Every structure is written in structure tokens, then in C-alpha cells.
Amino acid sequence: MFAGIFKAPGDVAYAEVATPKAGSGELLVRVKAATICGTDIRIYRGRKTKGVRTPSILGHEFSGEVVDVGAGVVGFSVGDAVCMDPVIPCLKCAYCKAGRENLCAFRTAIGYEFDGAFAEHIRIPATGVASGNVYKIAPGLSWEKAALAEPLACCINGQENAQIAMGDDVVVLGTGPIGMMHVQLAKAAGARRVVVSEPSQMRREMALRLGADVTVDPRSEDLGAVVRRETDGLGASVVIIAIGMPALANDALALVRKTGRVNLFAGFSKGDMPAIDVNLIHYNEILVSGASALTRRQYEKALRLIESGTIKVEDLVTHRFPLADIGEAIRVAESGTGIKVAIADA
């Protein structure tokens, strides 16, 4: 088979490799759609290294068709359309037992410890099958929509950590695909107002179509003044940082009201340590949370929200490339000229 081989930071090559086989307890899936995540780009640039191997195959947002079923596997057959929560928990550590399997002390993941989906085929390890990480796709759901269940599930985790509730005023900083999902989830949770800060006019317009109430170009408008205007002078209930710019942390703290919540959703590169105005947190009793990966519960919830049309993801994919153009696909995803880039089966 052919795959995009990650050899070193800045080096991904389209090359022929041995097609994996489904061993005992495993599944072999022909990849039909795989989308590029911001984390894939950070790995590609050498800014994220934990769990990453070279050479290896990246890609953890995907869907496909089962083409081989290993001995002992029940519930799956050749021809099944499937997608997968790529984070495989141990189910035994203290975090798993507490229901926080996304923080599992011994978690493994597709695209990290196991070869990922930027390939014609992907082998699903027995641990991923046994733990229930593989889900069948509802008839009629497109491959690309199913692949996007993974990032949506991660957004659900962030929203739960931020405790977004009915009547909240929410600010989303950055509207790439993640920010667009946060906008929709906040509205679905009953947010009164969703304000988006985004320099790209194209992305601001899409955010409005997906439910944002107000958009701001931070290069030419005073975001703080707009937020105060839209929230009766109080400030936001919640601010979500949906772009990996650590400098935005202080901006977020200044945008929330007393007792407000800030969620540092986006992944940041190792060593990013901006100065934080801790007095804003202290005197205003602001709650600050992070967001790491997803749980199987959140993945299934995301898949159902996409199936029902509650969360619209179809317009987020703006660019599609064949696997042979993996290098160009990553370049376009990194450039920010589109929103979501997919590697699609020909």
C-alpha cells in the first residue's frame, strides 16, 4: 500500500510500504477519509514529540471500510463502515476509574504509538477493538462527516470543562475548524450570545452562518469593547481559546466577568510559557481549565450530533487532496487559507 511516511520534522514522503494484516483481535480498515488536525501539523514541525515515532504514519481523524477481521473479533464484518476514537485508554489506572480516560496514565493513540490514517489502510490494534473505540457509521453519513467526530468530541470535552450552560455569553478566540465547532456547541447548549474574534473575513462569515451572533476583526476592532457592549458591561461568561497562541491567555482573562471561565482549548507547543496576570484570576475568582483529547462517551456523543445534523460539519472541509499529495495537503492546512483539509479516497 501507499502511505504518507513521517520521517523527521518537515519531512513527509509518499511511499510504498507493506500492507498491514489484521492479527488476532484486530481490524484492517481501508481509509476512505482522513482529515488533518492542528496537532498533526505541530508534529510535522517538531513542536509536539510525546508518543511520536519516526518513521511512522500520522493521522488520527478518519473513517473507512473494514476489509479484514482478525480472529476472535465479534460485532464487525468485512464491508462495515466505521470510524474510531483514536485515544485508547487502559481502563485500569486511577484516571480511567474516575471516568477521565482522556487523561489515562497509560493511554496509547492512533497516529502516535500506532500508525495512523494517512495511508491506504490502517490496522486497528486489538486494544482499540476490545475497548470499544471503533464505531459503526450510520447509513448515509459521509466519510468526511464521520472523520470529523474526533475533533468534535475533543470540543465537547472542552465545553464540558468550561461548564457552558443556558444563558451564558461565550467568546471564541479563533475560528478554524475547532472554533467553528465550539460556536455550534455553545449555541446548542443554550448560550445567549456567541462572539467570535477572527481576522479572516471568510471565517467570520462562516461563523455567522453556523450560529455566531457577533464577529470581530481583532486587527481593526476593540474586542473588549464589543464584548462589554454585548454583555451589558459584565464581560463574557466563558472565553474559549481555540487557537494555539499562548499570548491570548491574558486577553481571555480580561474578557471574562467575575467568576467567569476560561478554557485553554488549543494545543500549545512545548515551552510556551507566557506571563499571566494572576491577579485577574485571584480577585475575579476566574476558573481556568484545559482540554486534553476525548473520551469514548464524548466521541459517541459527537457522532450522534453529526448524524442528527445538530452540529454541521460538511462545510468545514474546504480542501481535498489525494494521498499522493500529502505534503501539499499539510502545507495548505498549515497556511490557514482554508478551514479543514481532507485526504480523500479517490
Using DSSP's 3-state secondary structure scheme, residue 156 falls into: helix
* 166-191 per-position pLDDT tens digit: 999 999 999 999 999 999 999 999 99
Angstrom distance (rounded) from CA 36 to CA 118: 9
The overall average pLDDT reported for the chain is 96
Question: CB 217: neighbour CB atoms within 10 A?
Answer: 13
* Helices and strands (DSSP H and E) totals, the chain: 12, 18
Classified by CATH at the fold level, domain 155-289 comes out as Rossmann fold (3.40.50)
Closest to 88 (Cα-Cα) out of 299, 264, 301, 289: 299
Domains in the chain: boundaries: 2-148+313-344, 155-289
Cα angle value 199/200/206 (rounded, 5°): 125
* 209-238 per-position pLDDT tens digit: 999 999 999 999 999 999 999 999 999 999
pLDDT of 346 above 60: no
CB 341 within 8 A of CB 329: yes
* 26-41 per-position pLDDT tens digit: 999 999 999 999 999 9
* 6-21 per-position pLDDT tens digit: 999 999 999 999 999 9
Angstrom distance (rounded) from CA 201 to CA 240: 20
- H or E segment to which residue 207 belongs: helix 201-209
Pairing of strands 340-344, 2-8: unpaired
**Residue 55: is the preceding peptide bond cis (ω within 30°)?**
yes
Task: Write out the three cell numbers for 166.
Answer: 443556558
Region 115-144: what's the mean pLDDT? Answer: 98
Q: For domain 2-148+313-344, which architecture applies?
A: Alpha-Beta Complex (3.90)
